[in-house]
Amino acid sequence: QVQLVESGGGLVQAGGSLRLSCAVSGSIFSLNTMGWYRQAPGKQRELVATMTSGGSTNYADSVKGRFTISRDNAKITVFLQMNSLKPEDTAAYYCNANLIATWKSASKDYWGQGTQVTVSS
């Protein structure tokens, strides 16, 4: 059973910073891309940032230069450092991990339960 547990969300003023963490536990044979997505009320879930197992990153244009994704493969944890936050960054943030659980499994996407980030103006 694979679990993703996020932490670090909260309420912050515009211009402030937050750091999200997501720890992955359970049966993991191979860990591929990890990342963060967000969903604001009434909107579709959108990609924020991803990082491959090799360290390649991809960011949404709206967060480039402000957000930084990193991961600790030994601790199977992914982080999202969010600086210069804006009210439009307000959303539920979801951790994602694409991994292979066992040697006979196919790769699959797993999701965390979400953590709320609210940026006040």
Query: 10 near 118, Cβ under 8 Å?
Result: yes
Calpha distance 77→31 (Å, rounded): 11
Amino acid at 115: T
**Confidence at residue 99, expressed as pLDDT on a 0 to 100 scale:** 94
Burial of 4 (0-12, 13-18, 19+ CB in 10 A): buried
pLDDT digits (tens, 9 = 90+) for 38-79: 999 999 999 999 999 999 999 999 999 999 999 998 889 999
**Confidence at residue 114, expressed as pLDDT on a 0 to 100 scale:** 96
**Confidence at residue 74, expressed as pLDDT on a 0 to 100 scale:** 86
**Confidence at residue 89, expressed as pLDDT on a 0 to 100 scale:** 98
Which pair of tokens denotes residue 60? 């949404």
pLDDT digits (tens, 9 = 90+) for 75-113: 899 999 999 999 999 999 999 999 999 989 999 999 999
